[in-house]
Structure 1
Amino acid sequence: MIADIAGIDRATAVARIAELERELFDAGAWSEAMVAQELDAPARTYLVDLAPEPDPGAPGPPAETGHADPESATRPPVIRGYAGFWYDGDDAELMTIGVGRAYQRQGIAAALLAALIDRARAQGARRMLLEVRVDNDPALALYERFGFRRMGLRRRYYQPGGIDAYTMALDLAPRAVGFRSATHNEGER
């Protein structure tokens, strides 16, 4: 389930995102302090994917033993993935997207990206920009599936490994061509 990060306990969200960062990005991972700083920065929109809550009526260990799990009511939600962008009044810059390894290839990254694109459009963004490692084939395939196109290359962008990044863009609003909209039909006024 995709949810706004504002609805999640802040300490839980920061700790889990930092944990996922370490799992996914090794030496390039954001620390808890960096995650907190990013979430506090102005004009940010962050979403998380939460694991579905277990159905209390479903068969399972508590029902079989007759003992309810008193901690289940106080357990924090399981954050499986996260993503966010910065909106500067014209462009939405995708800051990060990550899904825990145990939850990959289940459509979570696509759902997060689709929700971010919807939020960026709702905020008035004309396009979404991003950087992606040139060797991240799954991410490149995801972005291309959503219609992002490559714009350029940033050499040694990702540190400490010095990995190059493609810059990519997705138009979110029609672009003007000359003095008319690109969708304007001849003969119309």
Structure 2
Amino acid sequence: MIVDYTTLERESLIATLAELERDLFGRGSWTTTMIRQELEAPARTYLIDIDSDSDRQPTAQAGILPIRGYAGYWYDGDDAEIMTIGVASAYQRQGIATRLLGKLIDRAREQGAQRILLEVRVDNEPALALYRHQGFTTLGRRKHYYQPDNVDAYTMALDLTPHIAGFALPGDGVEP
């Protein structure tokens, strides 16, 4: 079940995301402070995939939430920039990241974003396959972007506005 992060108890959410970050991203993970600052920053959209079959309640007041995955972006009025996507190891390769990304794309369109941007490790083949499958294209490469591992990143984009190309036909309302 995918929910908006604002529907969850904030401290439990932060604690759970910090644990997932450490498991998924190791030395490059966001700290509890970084997660708190990110969630409190303006113009953020975060979606959380909750294990609805879990005995734990998604609105638990304390402790760890049954989160399978999370994803979010920052919207500046033109572009939405994906900040992170993560899926707990036990739930990977089950389509959770695809569903989260699809819902983020829908939300960005609803907000009026022109395109979605992101950075991704050049060695993260599953993420690259996901983004390419969703229509993202590579714009460039950022050297040594991911620290402390010193790994390069690809910058990628997905255009959300239609690009009209071709010729106008007589009677279609477009003046030659």
* TM > 0.5: yes
Q: In the alignment, is residue 132 of structure 1 matched against residue 120 of structure 2? A: yes
In structure 2, relative to structure 1, the CA distance for the partners of 1:154 and 1:72 (3 Å cut) is closer
Over the matched positions of the two proteins, sequence identity in percent amounts to: 58
Q: Distance in 2 between matches of 1:156 and 1:82?
A: 25
Matches within 5 A, 1:138-149: 138-149=126-137
* Aligned pair partner of 1:94 in 66, 76, 82: 82
After superposition, give the CA deviation of every residue in 1:123-180 in whole Å (9 maximum; x if it has no partner): 00010000000000000000000000000000000000110000000011124xxxxx
What is the DSSP-based 3-state SS (H/G/I as helix, E as strand, rest coil) of the residue aligned with 2:52? coil
CA distance in 2, matches of 1:127, 1:95: 14
Q: C-alpha separation between the residues in 2 aligned to 1:72 and 1:5?
A: 17
| Counterpart residue number, 1:36 | 36
1:52 and 1:149, CA in 2 relative to 1: closer, same or farther beyond 3 A? same
Q: TM-score, normalised by structure 1?
A: 0.84
Residue type at the aligned position of 2:80 = A
Residue-by-residue CA offset, 1:26-68 (whole Å, 9 max, x unaligned): 00000111100000111000000000235xxxxxxxxxxxxxx
RMSD: 1.8
Shift of residue 73, structure 1, vs aligned partner: 6.4
CA distance in 1, matches of 2:18, 2:91: 16
4+ residue stretches of structure 1 with deviation over 6 A?
none
Contact 1:174 1:182 in 2 (8 A): no
Alignment partner, residue 64 of structure 1? none
Unaligned runs of 5+ in 2: none
Partner in structure 2 of residue 152 of structure 1 = 140
2:40, 2:145 → 1: CA distance?
24
Q: How many residues align?
A: 168
The 3-state SS of whatever aligns with 1:37 is helix
Distance 1:152 1:145, change over 3 A: same
- Work out which of the residue numbers 103, 114, 131 in structure 2 matches 1:115: 103
Task: Report which stretch shifted further, 24-33 or 45-54.
Answer: 45-54
Corresponding letter in the other structure for 1:102: A
Judge conservation of contact 2:8–2:59 (CA < 8 Å) in 1.
no
Unaligned runs of 5+ in 1: 55-70, 176-180
Residue of structure 2 equivalent to 1:12? 12
AA at the equivalent of 1:49 = D
Does the 8 Å contact 2:73/2:80 carry over to 1?
Answer: yes
Separation in structure 2 between the aligned mates of residue 28 and residue 95 of structure 1, nearest angstrom: 14
Q: Secondary structure at the match of 1:89?
A: coil
Give the partner amino acid of 1:165: A
